[in-house]
Amino acid sequence: MTEELRKTESKKDEIIDPEQVERTREARLFMPRVDIYETKDNIHLVADIPGADQDSIDITLEKNILSIEARVATEKPVDYSLTYAEYGIGDFNRKFTLSNEIEKDGIVAVVKDGVLSLTLPKAGPAKSQRISVKSV
């Protein structure tokens, strides 16, 4: 099991060039790792965003693009110096395209212990409308 964790949890993916737009904030940018799975009624999106909380996460839905932005404060222990580093600290950013099957008004987002869980309800099957034909 530990082996499994190692393989997937290799390293944070840093976004070097986010769509050619330069950032004004002095922080590195990473791509959060996500799981996307589907149940009977919903599509679930789970993202690892350690260091971000409710107030520092922005989720926007524009047209069909769902974008997740999470700001992480680069705090460091006072008077201590970094002597060994395996991971970098920075903000998270990732975008997804949603299909039309998603009920856009019903999206629910919850954050706990640095994990963001999005529940995207599937839209019910389009109700067939019966059109009555009148005889003249």
Partner 1 sequence: MEFRKRYSSSLWEEMDKLQREMNRMFDSAYTNRSGTGFDFPAINVWTKPESGQVIIAELPGINPDELDIKVIGESITISGSRNSPEETENLKYHRQERGYGRFTRSIQLPFPVEADRIEANYEKGILKIWLPRAEADKPRKIVVKSNS
Q: Which residues of the shown chain bind partner 1 in the complex (CB under 8 A)? A: 1-12, 33-40, 43-44, 46, 48-53, 76-77, 79-87, 89, 112-115
Query: Which bin fits 120, alpha (ψ -120 to 50), beta or left (φ > 0)?
Result: beta
Q: How far is the CB of 95 from partner 1 (least distance, A)?
A: 14
Q: Show the tokens assigned to 22.
A: 């330069």
Inter-residue contact 47 to 32 (CB < 8 Å):
yes
Q: Are 43 and 122 in contact (CB under 8 A)?
A: yes
| 123 contacts 107 by C-beta, under 8 angstroms | no
Could you tell me the smallest distance in angstroms from the CB atom of residue 67 to partner 1?
Answer: 17
Looking at the Cβ atoms of 16 and 133, the one nearer to partner 1 is 16
Cα–Cα distance measured from residue 128 to residue 37, given in angstroms and rounded to the nearest whole number: 28
Pick between residue 40 and residue 127 the one whose CB is nearest to partner 1: 40
CB of 18 to partner 1, least distance (A): 19
Looking at beta carbons only, is 52 or 102 nearer to partner 1? 52
Q: What's the CA gap between 28 and 14, in Å, rounded?
A: 8
The minimum distance between CB 41 and partner 1, in angstroms, equals: 10
| Closest alpha carbon to 46 in 135, 104, 117 | 117
* Residue 29 C-beta: closest distance to partner 1, Å: 16
By beta-carbon proximity to partner 1, the closer residue of 12 and 66 is: 12
Residue number, 49 or 134, with CB nearest to partner 1: 49
